[in-house]
Structure 1
């Protein structure tokens, strides 16, 4: 049994609170670009017929549904999240989709996955690794459950390198986003978002952490002027 830290419990409770409006605010605050980022991330997977994919921090199931829409019917997907409120929203979306028989949801943290080793052909996590308290342990768990040759794809916010774009981005992120989030949901959650992005490692440092967890053939793709980054690593 994995015991969440005080910080982990706080993050879980925060996402429970914002779950009902999570999808609405994602689309609104990203101007819909988050869908394009998820499509690009899922496109980095290589899943064989009859394969299995794990989507960690699945939230309301957006990535799990995207994977299902772009893989053969023989591929099954497991969506995992430690926040029950998010999974409730995800269950409703998946139940209304044509992929409901292919997607199963599990309530568990990234650092302690209830899956056997070497069972998945691909593992994804979108905008979730930033919220994992013990990131190295979370990455090690992702590596453990992958089959040899399997691929991990991680989508996360990052910090733009252009000075001008960075200043505009930070103004939006620090001033506008928390205000809009506060009007429609919980302001503290949308204050946490920019704070957590600003403290997240840069691309080279995060790839080094992935390497420490055992991943090889590491690479990254910056998206939309560096607002988001997709990291790809494989299990040797």
Structure 2
């Protein structure tokens, strides 16, 4: 069920008014945008590159396809999709946060990635695209920051073509007790200190750790995707479920 916009929601462990969450999340990403890529490498020990590679392989993008990289941030997935869809294809890097979008655009243009990539500032809950438009939508490490996740999933379902595929790459729930304990210690004790050293912003990484704990677990997100109209929904756990890749189709 969608959240009432006049109601409260979670910002990490805090309870806040729903209409204020987007601005609070925006402040986090304005703060960390310039060092976002460095922090991704440091805090995941580079493993995020393997998670994203698996996402690209699962997407199976082909020449001529239209791809939406939603909450695409600094453009890691967009860069690879641009190569895969070729000159006749199109990739849209969309993000609600203009600071992240600017970093992504600069990074990709510096790498010579132009022509088949466009940049759109967009809210996942109300995507500004036509119905039945994209062959593939990916949202990597972005869904947990969305205020109304059900509304966002329905919006993604609307803009997918029949036969199109949604891939949700997101932090999830470790499967074993030992991993959970180690992960909790790392997330709440070490990660904020890394954030403080690298970005001078421990608070944003405290929010990151908390937002992961508040995000729906693997089975809950699977059911949310089904409720939004996706079919053949399944997921793959990676790194013991610290991250999961959910996949669903529109028919």
Q: Give TM-score, length-normalised by structure 2.
A: 0.90
Does the 8 A contact of 1:94 with 1:103 survive in 2? no
Cα distance in 1, alignment partners of residues 62 and 72 from structure 2: 21
Alpha-carbon distance between aligned partners in 1 of 2:238 and 2:31, rounded to the nearest angstrom: 29
1:147-158 matches, within 5 Å, as 147-158=161-172
Are 1:220 and 2:235 an aligned pair? yes
Matched, 1:229 2:234: no
* 2:70 aligned with 1:50: no
The answer for the alignment partner of 2:100 in structure 1 is 86
Q: Which of 203, 223, 231 is matched with 2:218 structurally?
A: 203
**1:48 shift after superposition:** 4.0
Q: Give SS of 1:44's match.
A: helix
Q: 2:70, 2:124 within 8 Å by CA — same for their partners in 1?
A: yes
Do the aligned partners of 2:167 and 2:248 also contact (CA within 8 Å) in 1? Answer: yes
Corresponding residue for 2:47? 33
Give the Cα–Cα distance (whole angstroms) in 2 for the partners of residues 48 and 164 of structure 1.
Answer: 40
1:105 to 119, 122, 131: 119
Cα RMSD, aligned residues only: 1.2
Instruction: Quote the Cα distance in structure 2 between the aligned partners of 1:229 and 1:5.
Output: 28
* 1-structure distance, mates of 2:143, 2:164: 19
Q: TM-score, normalised by structure 1?
A: 0.95
Residue in structure 1 matched with residue 131 of structure 2 by the alignment: 117
Count residues with an aligned counterpart: 233
Give the whole-Å Cα distance in 1 for the aligned partners of 2:81 and 2:54.
Answer: 11
User: 1:69 — aligned with what?
Assistant: 83
Query: 1:13-43: per-residue Cα shift (whole Å, max 9, x none)?
Result: 2101110111110011111100110110111
